Amino acid sequence: MKNPFKRFTIALTGDFGHGHSHEKMREWIEANGGIFARQIDGNVTHLVCSLEDWKKVPKVVKQALKIKKLKIVTFDWFEDSLMQHSPKREGEYLLKRVIKKTQKNKARKKTQAKRVIKEGAEAFEKGCKEFKDEIHSVRIEGYHIYRDDTNFDYEVKLARADVTTNKNERYILKLYESHTEPHLYATYVKYSSASGRKVGSDIRAPVGSTFEEALAAFKNFFKSKTCRTWEQRLDKMKLFDEAFVYTPPKLGWPRGRMPQGWEGPVDHTEAACGGKAQGM
């Protein structure tokens, strides 16, 4: 359709940004079959209104609201109709609907933010309680699971399953950080079998360790059980039967900081890793 504004009488209110003056928009309206209206009356079919003017509710908007058949639309309706050489259906461009959708999205984001904060606080308290329960030392009051700048929690599960004996084993490896600064750290690992008959724990880096010491202990244990370095945790590797498996978070979830220059997972399946997993 060559004239997308044919049979339309269009009025304007508000600032639509650089290059979209009312005079320029008048030229576009008339060049595309429409009639430009300088004031609101019963002949006007559309009022293109900015979000700011809608909020201020000037006289022109008040007048438009009194005319039942007049549609108050966003600048996007005007632009999309021009670009596609066809009048767009007004539904999704009606300012009332756009405002309502925006408010709904804001409310949803606010609810999500509250839930994230609540879950974060619960996870924080849980981490503190687990640390006290697991290590049983009065000196470790005030520690939580360490979270890096990508929002990844240093609490990983390493699992191994033997289908021939139906034996399942699991390690939970954790790096803790003190609440107070300067931060102190500790690394702890817990072992359990599916039957629950065999349970064990070990402190790999004692309370009061530096970050470098605790992280090194974390990485060393990870490598001893998975036969891959912590930096290779997302890579594909052919491992020996006794290796424990680390399953990283799903794509889109925090996976921890990677080395500078890292370009993505690497396939190492052609080079098998030999040896046996070391004991705890």
Which distant-in-sequence residues (6+ apart) come within 8 Å of 208 by Cβ? 139, 184, 186
C-alpha dihedral, 109 to 112 to 118 to 122, nearest 10°: -140
pLDDT confidence of residue 275: 43
Q: Write a three-state SS string for 84-100.
A: CCCCCCCHHHEHHHHHH
Tell how many helices (H) and how many strands (E) occur in the chain: 6, 12
Query: pTM of the prediction?
Result: 0.49
Decide: helix, strand or coil at residue 193. strand
CB 153 within 8 A of CB 207: no
CB 158 within 8 A of CB 230: no
C-alpha span between 271 and 269 (Å, rounded) = 5
pLDDT confidence of residue 121: 62
Decide: helix, strand or coil at residue 183. coil
Cα–Cα distances in Å, from 45 out to 8, 35, 90, 261? 6, 10, 11, 57
DSSP state of 190: E
Instruction: Give residue-wise pLDDT tens across range 190-238.
Output: 888 766 566 788 889 988 899 999 999 999 999 999 888 999 898 876 5
Instruction: Give residue-wise pLDDT tens across range 27-76.
Output: 999 999 999 999 999 999 999 999 888 888 889 999 999 999 999 999 99
Which DSSP string corresponds to 211-268? HHHHHHHHHHHHHHHHSS-GGGTTSEE---TT--EE-PPPTTS------TT--S--EE
